[in-house]
Amino acid sequence: MRDGPMTTATTLLSVRGVARSFPSQSGGAPTVALQATDLTVAENDFITILGPSGCGKSTLLRIVAGLDRQTSGEVLLDGHTISGPGAERGMVFQSYTLFPWLSVRDNVCFGLRERGLPRAQQLEAADAFLGKVGLRGFENHFPKQLSGGMQQRVAIARALANGPRMLLMDEPFGALDHQTRELMQELLLGIWEAERKTVLFVTHDIDEAVFMGSRVVVMSARPGRIKLDRKVPLAHPRHYSVKTSPEFAALKAELTEQVRVEVRAAQESVATAA
């Protein structure tokens, strides 16, 4: 079994035999983006999914979000089959997806308003979560007035304020510069350590995967499948200095090796296809 030691905890999400293929443009065999994949996510877990670009890790996340449809298999959240997107699975995207016509505060209120919460409660929740991501004082700004890192902080606050069962993150810091990225990792980890919201986090950054995750899942080159599933042996709360610890280095070395092989494989398959 791949699931490792976390199976004893309550299962929140189970991905069972989920595969995705795209019909070929030229009428040939369909392109397989994701091979039949199983993944069990326990309540309060922080799982990072690592893999070369194009390995289907985002496809897997989008299927869990309900934004993409699997060709076979099923995804269960709390034992119920997922058939489309919903508020119980909050998502943070790599692109900046704040609604540009809404103020920062109204962006965070968006989901709460969809649920028909009274305005006073919406504002209370929005301000609380904006405080948690360190954006008090920016409530009335428009998204375009904020830096990329700040916009992603609002996006995290927007997803969390909605009270989802789990948070799906698709390379949320991928467009940020290195320094901002590290600060965002600490911010998100701090929030997770305080709230223990279940997170599924896709990245291609090995440091990020190890630092943030309580479990790291490595995916193979296309067609993607899970080839490795490791528990991260680092205690919480984690300080950024943990990145220099021997445990961190050991796991990073192993994962680097594993990912390297896949990146190679991905490049070779592109080369043969061309």
Partner 1 sequence: MKPLTPVNPGARIALGIGFFVVFFAVWGAVTLGGFVSKTFLADPLSMVASGWTLVQQGFLSDIGMTVWRVLGGFAIATVAALPLGVAMGAYKPIEAFFEPFVSFARYLPASAFIPLLILWAGIGEAQKLSVIFIGSFFQLVLMIAVAVGNTRRDLVEAAYTLGSSDVSLVKRVLIPGAAPEIAEILRMVLGWAWTYVIVAELIGASSGIGHMITDSQALLATDQIIFGIIVIGLIGLVSDFAFKWINRRLFPWAQLGR
**Residue 12 found at the interface with partner 1 (CB under 8 A):** no
From 79, 84, 120, 235, residue interacting with partner 1 (rule: CB under 8 A): 84
From 6, 40, 82, 89, residue interacting with partner 1 (rule: CB under 8 A): 89
Alpha carbon separation from 29 to 24, 26, 221, 254 (Å, rounded): 6, 9, 18, 35
**Residue 101 found at the interface with partner 1 (CB under 8 A):** yes
From 20, 49, 52, 93, residue interacting with partner 1 (rule: CB under 8 A): 93
Residues pairing with 170 in the sheet: 202
From 24, 72, 95, 256, residue interacting with partner 1 (rule: CB under 8 A): 95
**Which range of residues in 39-47, 61-69, 132-140, 201-209 is near partner 1 by CB under 8 A?**
61-69
Q: What is the per-residue binding string for partner 1 in 127-166, x denoting contact by CB under 8 A?
A: ---------------xxxx---------x--xx--x----
**Least distance CB 107 / partner 1 (angstroms):** 9
Annotate 28-62 with b (16+ C-beta within 10 A) or e (fewer). Answer: eeeebbbbbbebbbbbbbbbbbbbbeebbbbbbbb
**Residue 91 found at the interface with partner 1 (CB under 8 A):** yes
From 21, 110, 223, 245, residue interacting with partner 1 (rule: CB under 8 A): 110
Binding site for partner 1 (CB under 8 A): 65-67, 84-87, 89-91, 93, 95, 97, 99-102, 110-111, 114-115, 142-145, 155, 158-159, 162, 168
